[in-house]
C-alpha cells in the first residue's frame, strides 16, 4: 500500500495514499479498536450538512471567500450522496465529544477540496471548521440526524402499517370472537375491535413521535467550545441554522441558550422515549399475533398469518411466526438502547457531555431498526392476516364467560354457579343453567346473544 505523510499539532502521521482523511483521523483509527461499531453514516451526513451550512454562513459574514465556500459545498454534496463513504473509518467508541469524527469530516472535506482545487486551498480547522467546535457541531449533527431519520424513515413506516391495520379492522369488524384478559376467556369482542386497538396504538405513537421530534429542532451550533460562541461572528448561529433548515426542509432554529445546547440532551432522551413507547406497543401487537396464530392444531389458531419459511431443521412441515419474533427482538433492543441513552444523557459535567457518540449510535440504531423491521413486519405479516372464523366460532361457543350476560337476570352469584357447574361437569352453559333450575331453554336463548355483547 502506498502512503503519504501528513501532520497535525502532535507531529507527522503516515496516511494511506488513497484516503482523504488526515493525521487526526489516522491517530484515532490507530488508538481505538477498528473491530467495533463504526460511527453511523447518519452522523457523517449530518456533519456534512453542518459544514455546508457553516461555509455559507461564514461567507455571508465575510469570513470565507467564495471559492473556498463553493469547494466546501461541492465536497459536502459528495458526502451527502454517499460518494465518499469509504473515507470515514472511525468507530463509535472514541472520544466522548465526537471530536475525532468532526475532524475526520473536516479533513476529508479539506483534502478532497484541495484535490478539486488543484492546490492546497483548504485547511481542516481554519476553513472547514471555521466558527465551529466539535462541542457544538456534534450535538447539532445528533439533532439533525435524529430528525431526518424519524421523519424520513420511521414515520412513513408507521403510516404504512396504520393503513394496513385500518383495512384489516374494517374487513373484520363483524366477526365475533372470544375476548381474553389475564390469558383467560373473557366476554366477546369482534376481531375488528381487537385490531382497532393495535391501529390506535400506532396512531398515538405516531402523534407522540411527531410532537417529540420538535424538541430536536433547536441547534447548538454557534456555541463553539463552551456555549459563549468564541471565534464565531455575530449572527453566525442564526444564519447557519437558517441554512440547515433550507438544506433539510425541516424547521431548525438556533438554540436560545447554547450553554444548555452543549450540555443537555433531554431532547434526545425525550424523542427516544417516544421510540421506546412505540417499541412497547409493537411488542404487544406482535405477541398478540403470535398467540392468536399459535397452532396450527394445538394452539389458539384463531388467525392465519403468512407462511414465509420453514420453521425447523428437524420437524418437517413446521412454520414459525418469524416476523413476530423479529419484531419483538427489535423492540427489546430499543428498550436496551433507551437505558443506555438515559444513562449517557445524565453524565454531563460542567459545560460538556462526553457520552455523545454512544447516544448518537443507540438513537440512530433504534430508529433505523424499528423502522426497517416494522416495515417488513407490515409487508410480510400484517398484510396477510386473515381470520380462522371456524375456530373463532368454536372458541366463542365454548367460552364460559358468556355467562356475564346473565348477571342482570339471575345475579352475579347465580351466574357464577352456572359457569362453575358447566366447567366441573364439562357441559354447556345452557345445559348448566337449565339443570340448576335458574333458566329455561327459551330464556337462555333470549339472553345469550354474542352479537349483542360486543
Taking the C-alpha atoms of residue 400 and residue 411, their distance in angstroms, rounded to an integer, is: 16
Taking the C-alpha atoms of residue 129 and residue 107, their distance in angstroms, rounded to an integer, is: 10
Helices (H) and strands (E) in the chain, counts: 17, 8
The 3-state DSSP class for residue 9 equals coil
Question: Is residue 110 within 8 Å of residue 102, measured between CB atoms?
Answer: no
Is 33 assigned a catalytic role? no
Taking the C-alpha atoms of residue 397 and residue 177, their distance in angstroms, rounded to an integer, is: 9
Partner residues linked to 4 by β-bridges: 15
Nearest to 22 by CA among 7, 34, 35, 32: 7
Is 145 assigned a catalytic role? no
Partner residues linked to 303 by β-bridges: 387
Taking the C-alpha atoms of residue 341 and residue 332, their distance in angstroms, rounded to an integer, is: 14
The 3-state DSSP class for residue 204 equals helix
Question: Is residue 57 within 8 Å of residue 243, measured between CB atoms?
Answer: yes
Q: C-alpha distances in angstroms, 211 versus 215, 219, 270? A: 8, 17, 10
The active-site residue, picked from 7, 204, 312, 346, is 312
Residue 91 has phi, psi (to 5 degrees) of -100, 165
Among all residues, which ones are annotated catalytic?
Answer: 182, 312
Amino acid at each position: 500500500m502506498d502512503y503519504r505523510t501528513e501532520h497535525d499539532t502532535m507531529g507527522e502521521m503516515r496516511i494511506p495514499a488513497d484516503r482523504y482523511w488526515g493525521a487526526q483521523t489516522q491517530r484515532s483509527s490507530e488508538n481505538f479498536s477498528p473491530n467495533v461499531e463504526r460511527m453511523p453514516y447518519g452522523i457523517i451526513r449530518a456533519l456534512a450538512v453542518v459544514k455546508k451550512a457553516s461555509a455559507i454562513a461564514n461567507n455571508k459574514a465575510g469570513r470565507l471567500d467564495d471559492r473556498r465556500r463553493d469547494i466546501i459545498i461541492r465536497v459536502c454534496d459528495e458526502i451527502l450522496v454517499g460518494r465518499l463513504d469509504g473515507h470515514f473509518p472511525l468507530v463509535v467508541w472514541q472520544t466522548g465529544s465526537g471530536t475525532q469524527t468532526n475532524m475526520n469530516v473536516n479533513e476529508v472535506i479539506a483534502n478532497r477540496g484541495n484535490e478539486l482545487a488543484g492546490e492546497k486551498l483548504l485547511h481542516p480547522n481554519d476553513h472547514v471548521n471555521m466558527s465551529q467546535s466539535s462541542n457544538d457541531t456534534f450535538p447539532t449533527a445528533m439533532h439533525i440526524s435524529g430528525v431526518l431519520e424519524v421523519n424520513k424513515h420511521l414515520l412513513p413506516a408507521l403510516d404504512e402499517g396504520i393503513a394496513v391495520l385500518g383495512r384489516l379492522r374494517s374487513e373484520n369488524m363483524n366477526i365475533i370472537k372470544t375476548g381474553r384478559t389475564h390469558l383467560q376467556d373473557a366476554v366477546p369482542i369482534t376481531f375488528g375491535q381487537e385490531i382497532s386497538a393495535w391501529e390506535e396504538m400506532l396512531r398515538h405513537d405516531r402523534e407522540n413521535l411527531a410532537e417529540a421530534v420538535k424538541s430536536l429542532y433547536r441547534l447548538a451550533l454557534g456555541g463553539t467550545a463552551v456555549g459563549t460562541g468564541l471565534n464565531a461572528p455575530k449572527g453566525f448561529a442564526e444564519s447557519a441554522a437558517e441554512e440547515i433548515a433550507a438544506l433539510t426542509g425541516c424547521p431548525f432554529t438556533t438554540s436560545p441558550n447554547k450553554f444548555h445546547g452543549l450540555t443537555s440532551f433531554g431532547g434526545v432522551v425525550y424523542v427516544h422515549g417516544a421510540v421506546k413507547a412505540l417499541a412497547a406497543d409493537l411488542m404487544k401487537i406482535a405477541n398478540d399475533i403470535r398467540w392468536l396464530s399459535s397452532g396450527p392444531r394445538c394452539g389458539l389458531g384463531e388467525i392465519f398469518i403468512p407462511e414465509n419459511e420453514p420453521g425447523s431443521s428437524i420437524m418437517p412441515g413446521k412454520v414459525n411466526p418469524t416476523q413476530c419474533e423479529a419484531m419483538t427482538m427489535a423492540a427489546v433492543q430499543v428498550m436496551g438502547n433507551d437505558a443506555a441513552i438515559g444513562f449517557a444523557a445524565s453524565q454531563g459535567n460542567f459545560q460538556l457531555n462526553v457520552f455523545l457518540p454512544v447516544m448518537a449510535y443507540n438513537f440512530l440504531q433504534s430508529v433505523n431498526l424499528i423502522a426497517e423491521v416494522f416495515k417488513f413486519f407490515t409487508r410480510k405479516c400484517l398484510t396477510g392476516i386473515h381470520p380462522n372464523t371456524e375456530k373463532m366460532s368454536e372458541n366463542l361457543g365454548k367460552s364460559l364467560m358468556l355467562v356475564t350476560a346473565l348477571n342482570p337476570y339471575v345475579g352475579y352469584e347465580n351466574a357464577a354457579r352456572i359457569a362453575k357447574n358447566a366447567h366441573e361437569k364439562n357441559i354447556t352453559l345452557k345445559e348448566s343453567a337449565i339443570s340448576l333450575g335458574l333458566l329455561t331453554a327459551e330464556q337462555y336463548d333470549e339472553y345469550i346473544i354474542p352479537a349483542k355483547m360486543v
